[in-house]
Amino acid sequence: MKLWFNKGAWASKSAAAKLSGLDPEQVKSIAVIRHAALGDMVLTRPFLIELRNCFPNARITLSLVSNYMRGAPEDLVDRVHVVYGSDRRDKSPFEQIKQARTLGYHDLVFDLAATTRSIWVCVLNKARFKIGFPYTQMQRRLFYDAAVLRSDMEFEAETMLDMLRLLGFNVGHPPVFSLPGSTTVRERPFIVYFTSASGEYKCWPKENFAQLVGRMAQQYQDHDHVVLEGVADWESIDEIMQPNRDKDNVEGLKLDGVDEAISLLKGARLVVSNDTGIRNLAIAAEAPTLGIFFATAPFKTVPFRYLPASGQHDIVFNHDGSIPVVDSVYESAVKMLSQA
């Protein structure tokens, strides 16, 4: 193998020599480190699918962190390695290091996290070649043999695939997720709204969502309008459902788990959501999505990082980072549904 780039990536002085003479079919063991929550986790699927195609004889290990296991693409790997996370503070530093080292030696290591914990996993385990996408030049030089320059201007799933392009592989486009699971079928087409996120500061105001749902329910009376409720107390959808209580095509729904969410999202005509994992899950489920982005401290919006190039996805945001008005989101939703 060799490195294929002039710009847009980085490699150490010894990188070319380390790859020289290594044939893709001779690669026997690969580790992929992905310490991330549900939304970012599902974006790993296209990378793992292409990785299997590029290295057909390799045994693939996926390294996870114990507090982020939901949505892990275990169906695409041969082994799962788990390091202790924030939910295992009972473990001593010695036990944490010992567990991290159980990843073992691999021909290739891909760090798809670039966190302090993932870097430690890289340091504590040997490999012939290590590739990452860290944000700083110092991290590249200290911990990896090669790195893709991470950008907030590109869909993150594509950035991961760039790691394979760096090695000369012509991977597919657009990314393929092959997300397993059944598809919810209803008597009428339906639109899904998810009004929550990882924190309240990332949430479009509930009164805005209430207005949007009301207008959409009036415009699309032949559709069901399903408002999903989160798990925390502050994620209640009462403020959205109350103004729309007289509309028989609006319903609230609380899902039991990831599998039920995947099934529902797979069947949706459109998913309208804040910047949150549910939208990424909908993207992986190949449902059209409309993301709402804005900037409020401490959250800094990065809309293009979560915008696939395919035409069935859109984002709404203002140039100054302010909260989008209901009209903007409504107009985008109507336009998307008219093109479906």
CATH code for the domain of 102: 3.40.50.2000
Contact, 32 vs 61, CB < 8 A?
yes
Residues 213 and 286 both lie in one domain? yes
Q: How far is residue 33's CA from residue 290's CA, in Å, rounded to a whole number?
A: 29
pLDDT of residue 300: 67
Residues 50 and 137 both lie in one domain? yes
Residues 207 and 327 both lie in one domain? yes
Residue appearing with tokens 């870097």:
119
Residues 24 and 136 both lie in one domain? yes
Q: How far is residue 158's CA from residue 275's CA, in Å, rounded to a whole number?
A: 18
Question: What is the residue range of 266's domain?
Answer: 190-339
Instruction: Determine how many CB atoms are found less than 10 A away from the CB of residue 279.
Output: 25
pLDDT of residue 143: 95
Gap between the terminal Cα atoms of the chain = 42
298: preceding bond cis by omega (within 30 degrees): yes
pLDDT of residue 311: 77
Q: What's the 3-state SS for 44-102?
A: CHHHHHHHHHHCCCCEEEEEEECCECCCCCHHHCCEEEEECCCCCCCCCHHHHHHHHHH
pLDDT of residue 45: 97
Q: How far is residue 155's CA from residue 176's CA, in Å, rounded to a whole number?
A: 13
pLDDT tens readout for residues 140-161: 899 999 999 888 888 999 999 9
179 occurs within a structural domain: no
pLDDT of residue 173: 83
Q: Which residues of the chain have pLDDT under 50?
A: none
Residue appearing with tokens 């393929």:
176
Sequence-ordered list of residues with C-beta below 8 angstroms from that of 74, at least 6 positions apart, any chain? 62, 80
Q: How far is residue 312's CA from residue 271's CA, in Å, rounded to a whole number?
A: 11
Domain count, the chain: 2
71 occurs within a structural domain: yes
pLDDT of residue 236: 93
Residues 229 and 157 both lie in one domain? no
3 occurs within a structural domain: no
Predicted structure pTM score:
0.93
Residues 212 and 158 both lie in one domain? no
Residues 223 and 321 both lie in one domain? yes
